[in-house]
Amino acid sequence: MTDQRFNPLAADQRWQKRWAESGVFEADDASEKPRSYVLEMFPYPSGRIHMGHVRNYTMGDVLARFRRMQGFEVLHPMGWDAFGMPAENAAMEKKVHPGDWTRANIKAMSAQLKKLGFAFDWSRELATCEPDYYGQEQALFIDMFENDLVYRKESAVNWDPVDMTVLANEQVIDGKGWRSGAPVEKRKLSQWFLKITDFAEDLLSGLDELKGWPEKVRVMQENWIGKSQGLQFHFALSDQQGEQETIEVFSTRPDTIFGASFVALSADHPLTQHLAADNEAIAAFAEECKAGGTTAAELETMAKKGFDTGLKVKHPMDPSWELPVFIANFVLMDYGTGAVFGVPAHDQRDLDFARKYMLPVTRVVAAEGEENTPIHDEAYAGPGKLVNSSLLDGMDVETAQKTVINKAESENWGKAQTTWRLRDWGVSRQRYWGTPIPIIHCEDCGPVPVPKDQLPVVLPEDIDFETPGNPLERHATWKHIDCPKCGKAATRETDTLDTFTNSSWYFLRFASQPDDKPFDPEVVKKWMPVTQYIGGIEHAILHLLYARFWTRALASIGQLEFQEPFESLFTQGMVTHETYKLGDGSWLSPEEVQKNGNDWITVEGGNPVKTGRIEKMSKSKKNVVDPDPIIEQYGADAVRFFMLSDSPPERDLPWSEAGIEGSWRFVQRLWRLFISVTENGDAPDNVDKALNRKLHQTIAGVASDIEDLSFNKAVAKIFELVNQIEKSDGSQDRNVAIKTLAYLVAPMVPHVAEEAWALLGEKDMIAKAAWPDVDESLLVEDEVTIAIQVRGKLRDTLIVAKGSDKQTLEDLALSSEKVQRTIDGAEIKKVIVVPDRLVNLVI
RNA sequence: GCGGACGUGGCGAAAUGGUAGACGCAGCAGACUUAAAAUCUGCUAUCCGAAAUGGGUGUGCGGGUUCGAGUCCCGCCGUCCGCACCA
């Protein structure tokens, strides 16, 4: 007698072991089958898997298993984005080596992933913190260096004087280091940069080709790249200032040039600095500007402030017209030229500024009939014709722009210019736990790349985190090395690469990982681009842009034959959970509360609890549910099924106890159906056409839903089928339907599916089975329900033979008692008949 | 401010312009049971009605297109996300 309950504790392990031993999920580079590369963003080994990971990898797994069943050779790898700050923080706090900490986390997390039964090709597992990975990354860096895609320049960084380290912008809180609390200083350091701006145009235009990407992500990248076209030109200073004879400005609205009423410099502009050198008031004002915050809220409320330098510039199109030069707090040094000309009538900031400093406001663009409407508090940024603009008068905005640009170019005071928001990517980090930059600094030869036969440049193990600063910098011996070119004593670069470089090419290394080079282009070509990439929206810009850049950069130096790494991208929603609070506002974890009737109370003490919003699981809100005990209690299949049910995958999924229990019950329900086959072996041989039809509709429907990643819809269809099977009488058709059901659920709940397979006498694994064929003839109903409407309102439904002709339908509709009652003798003006759908009577 | 997404029962949600609310959760009633769990059956948008294959209303709000609108168009309101003194 078969156990009436499915026991995941035993079954999960049994099948996970068999999958691993058989190597069934290992991808074959040499396969002749069509290929599919399913990739989920690899995790940072923080120590524990969280529900977001579970959801992400479940989605990818269903797709990977499904594609395998459909006959694809599937590459579905897993690895670890293993460099990063948390390991160094752990080293400082817990006195463990970052490597030990990271490797222990990887071990723990891979065990957790394995318990979920994901169909990963573990033979390709990689960790970016191991020399066999980062050494190859160093080789790629050198290739880029030698192809002029890498350069070094002085750049301002946030410097924490206590921790003696560079901080990322996110690590600066209220101007202080997030760890030390010390006021952060701006420091100039020599930093390595990758020339992503060389690819700005390609990265932008390439977005149009990414049809399989969410519109949202493409728009975000487009904004980030930030292309603006306009005119860069100079104003001649009336009096030369030191070396400076002119002020260079950039504008996207050269058409408004006759509306100019001032020129404004950034506080960091060279001319400002020149003036500040012998003018204390200017120096003080420039300092004041820099002190201002840069958060959105601060900018919102910050008043426009300026300082009149007393200098004048000549208007390029009318040398007799002089404009005052201000230093202004709203002009950014790192965009455009660090100087602008102000057109108050057509730019809100300029207008605010002009009102404050009593500068002229001249309308130069006007919509029809608005020519004489004065500008008050709102600048006009809309379309129209030029006015008050000498030779431009009467032109539309676009023509005026072209005219001014042509004039500037022919008279040699400016040229058409494209400006990007995108900056080159600074990759230097003054940290230990990252890829060492494979450069040697020689006094005579300058920066020299480490010869490739000396790679990898391995991180030293014997380091200390007792004293602040970069351990590589103060290591006794590591950085001392002879110059590979001249042999003279030299030093290694002690900076390491930004961790985003690690994730910029890992998908290539998954596809091919030879010992002697980063990848084999021939093998990579077979798998790439990634067919379906799945991950969180938080990587919409940085990671996805950097990976696109690396792919294009490597293509530009002949290492790859494709331009885009990810054919389709899917950004999944977060896993959320209700939050709980005590009366005093402190957060409570789900374990600390329980339901008491309709209210919530604390487990200990029974104090009243307020339920808060449903939010992303986070430690601070204490609403995290750890997957491990849940898997322990309900088994991998129930957890996986929950992740797929109900919410569409791109939306947030609210975690609930009731939900996981529902999934558990469904797994048991499936199991009871499978058992019923063994008990109904001698069921009658009569045909259950309705059930067969439902079965084949479900096979087709589930397949297309999974293909669309609409897992919630696939789940709903499976429920419908299960409901119908349960209601149907025992028959051989019913047994076939149940056995077929095992294939349909196999990608989602693989353990119970394998168990069923064994129960039903199959010797091999369902993981190797093919997706069932659809009997197309069964997809077509022979009877359909048609709606009878009167003036678009439903009055009756009729069941008719499929394909009934219009006249028949019309006659049937008219003979309906309910329809007659509604019409009540009124004249029928029009009859709309949609065959197999509806009849609409218009009276 | 700019850009994007979204708004449907108590909740998560379905719905090629064609019967709104499939499917799941929760809830209610019943069966089985000494009892509970599990399981099974039925009901469950809302209003009127004892009930009806009775009727009215209903997809954020206001208009429009259409024989017919959750879906398309215009204008609002709201929520969420991203970017932001970007010249």
Residue A541, CB, less than 7 Å from strand B? yes
Phi, psi torsion values for A17, nearest 5 degrees: -65, -45
Distance CA A433, CA A430 (A): 9
Closest nucleotide (C1' vs CA) to A335 is B86
* CA A190 to the chain's CA centroid: 31
Distance from residue A105's CA to nucleotide B78's C1', rounded to whole Å: 44
Kindly report whether the peptide bond that precedes residue A521 is cis, defined as omega within 30 degrees of 0.
no
Helix (H, G, I), strand (E, B) or coil at A321: strand
Determine if strand B comes within 7 Å of the CB of A381.
no
CA-closest candidate to residue A407, choices A609, A169, A231, A195: A231
**What length is written for chain A?**
843
A561 touches strand B (CB under 7 A): no
Half-sphere exposure of A579 (CA within 13 A, CB side): 17
Rounded distance between C-alpha atoms, residue A285 and residue A632, angstroms: 64
Pull the structure tokens for residue A242.
Answer: 């030191």
Q: In angstroms, rounded to a whole number, what is the distance separating the alpha carbons of residues A49 and A53?
A: 6
DSSP lists the bridge partners of residue A231 as A251, A416
> How many separate helices (H) and strands (E) can be counted in chain A?
25, 35
Contact (Cβ atoms closer than 8 angstroms) between residue A98 and residue A113: no
The residue type of A701 is G
* C-alpha–C-alpha distance, residues A829 and A843, integer Å: 5
Beta bridge partners of A236: A246, A314
Separation of CA A176 from chain center: 29
Q: Which residues contact A672 (CB under 8 A, 6 or more apart)?
A: A4
Nucleotides of chain B within 7 Å of a protein C-beta? 1, 3-5, 11-16, 18-20, 22-26, 38-41, 53-56, 67-69, 81-87
Burial label for A196, CB within 10 Å (0-12, 13-18, 19+), is buried
Q: For the residues of A516-562, what is the DSSP string, one character each?
A: SSS--HHHHHHHPSBSEEEEEGGGTTHHHHHHHHHHHHHHHTTS-S-
**pLDDT the model gives residue A301:** 54
Asked if residue A797 keeps its beta carbon closer than 7 A to nucleic acid strand B, the reply is yes
Which nucleotide in the DNA or RNA is closest to residue A834, CA to C1'? B18
pLDDT at res. A755 = 95
Strand locations in A413-452 (E):
414-420, 425-426, 428-429, 439-442, 446-449
The dihedral region occupied by A195, where left means phi > 0, alpha psi between -120 and 50, and beta the remainder, is beta
Q: Is the peptide bond before A456 cis (omega within 30 degrees of 0)?
A: yes
A104 touches strand B (CB under 7 A): no
Rounded Cα distance, A37 and A75, in Å: 5
Pair type for strands A306-315 and A227-241: antiparallel
A62: nearest Cα among A721, A534, A672: A534
Given a contact cutoff of 8 angstroms between Cβ atoms, the answer to whether A546 and A503 are in contact is yes
Distance (Å, rounded) from C-alpha A194 to C-alpha A141? 9
b/e per residue A385-418 (b: at least 16 CB within 10 A) = bbbebeebeebebeebbebbbebbeeeebbebbe
Query: Cα–Cα distances in Å, from A38 out to A249, A504, A526, A541?
Result: 48, 17, 14, 21
Q: Which of residues 226-285 of A touch strand B (CB under 7 A)?
A: 226, 228, 230, 250-253, 266
Q: What is the pLDDT of residue A685?
A: 82
Q: Which helix (H) or strand (E) holds A734?
A: helix A732-745
A29 touches strand B (CB under 7 A): no
CA atoms within 13 A on the CB side of A7: 6
C-alpha to C-alpha distance for A269 and A264, rounded to whole angstroms: 10
pLDDT at residue number A294: 47
> Is A828 near strand B, with its CB below 7 A from some atom of it?
no
Q: Helix or strand or coil: residue A753?
A: helix
Q: Return averaged pLDDT per consecutive 10 residues of chain A, 843 residues in all.
A: 77 96 96 96 93 95 97 97 90 90 96 96 97 97 96 84 72 68 79 92 91 88 89 90 86 93 92 90 85 49 81 92 92 89 91 90 87 83 87 91 94 92 87 95 95 94 83 90 94 93 96 96 96 90 92 96 94 87 76 68 77 77 87 94 92 90 94 90 83 94 94 95 91 93 97 95 94 90 84 84 85 83 79 87 83
**d(C-alpha A137, C-alpha A129), whole Å:** 11
Are A796 and A769 in contact by the 8 Å Cβ rule? The answer is no
Structure tokens at A809: 């339908």
Distance CA A828, CA A843 (A): 5
Quote the Cα angle for A425-A567-A117, to 5°: 100
Distances A843 to A728, A788, A814, A816 between C-alpha atoms, Å: 44, 13, 12, 15
Strands, sheet with A793-801, edge to edge from the N-terminal-most edge strand: A793-801, A783-790, A838-842, A830-834
What is the SS3 assignment for A166? strand
The three-state secondary structure class of A43 is coil
Q: Which of A191, A43, A770, A783 is nearest to A494 (CA)?
A: A191
Tokens of A157: 């960084």
Q: Is the CB of A125 under 7 A from strand B?
A: no
